[in-house]
Structure 1
Amino acid sequence: MSTKCETCVYYSYDEEYDDYICEMDLDEDEMVRFLSARADACPYWRPGDDYRTARRQ
């Protein structure tokens, strides 16, 4: 993938799995495409800017 999951807003730590996971709700076709790396970039990637909310206040 050309985008990095570590900077995505949907990439978060799951204590149950003790690992980071993508929280985007993908359907079966999208998941197959994502796992087989046939997509050039994740279409759901959004920058995980922690300060975005603070700037609006």
Structure 2
Amino acid sequence: MKGTSCEECAYFEYDEDEESYGCQFFFDEDDIAKASLYGDRYICPHFQYRDEYRIVRKQI
């Protein structure tokens, strides 16, 4: 299942220029239109779970 919580996504980062958190992935026009159309029901196709231990598991 694709993720929907931006706070758990790897692309959700702090922007020092804007002084706020936000998605750092560059969406195309179709994704932006779908997000505005579906609102809270939108499932992001680019969601990637933030997993700090992924590299460590590969080394074991």
Same fold (TM over 0.5): yes
Task: Give the RMSD, CA atoms, in angstroms.
Answer: 1.8
> 1:1-57 counterparts in 2 under 5 A?
3-34=4-35, 36-38=36-38, 40-57=42-59
Moved over 4 A (4+): none
State how far apart, in whole Å, the 2-side matches of 1:53 and 1:21 are: 24
| Residue aligned with 2:49, SS | coil
Q: Which has the higher helix share?
A: 2
Structure 1: unaligned runs, 5 residues or longer: none
SS in 2 for 1:47: coil
Q: Displacement, 1:49?
A: 0.8
**TM-score, normalised via structure 1 length:** 0.75
Length, aligned pairs only: 55
